[in-house]
Amino acid sequence: MGAHDLQKQIDAVYKAGVDVGYLKSMPSNDTVYDKPLK
């Protein structure tokens, strides 16, 4: 399982960070490694 498999959960954490003011904006998709782990 890689980060790609957890993309929805990671997006939810990013959105929560924006909502509470921890993040000023959503990070780019490049912040998540989306290749399968070997």
How far is residue 8's CA from residue 11's CA, in Å, rounded to a whole number?
5
Query: Which comes out higher in pLDDT, residue 5 or 12?
Result: 12
Residues 6+ apart with CB under 8 A from 6: none
Q: Is 3 a residue whose pLDDT tops 80?
A: no
Question: Which tens digits make up the pLDDT trace of 8-21?
Answer: 888 999 999 999 99
Q: Is 37 a residue whose pLDDT tops 90?
A: no
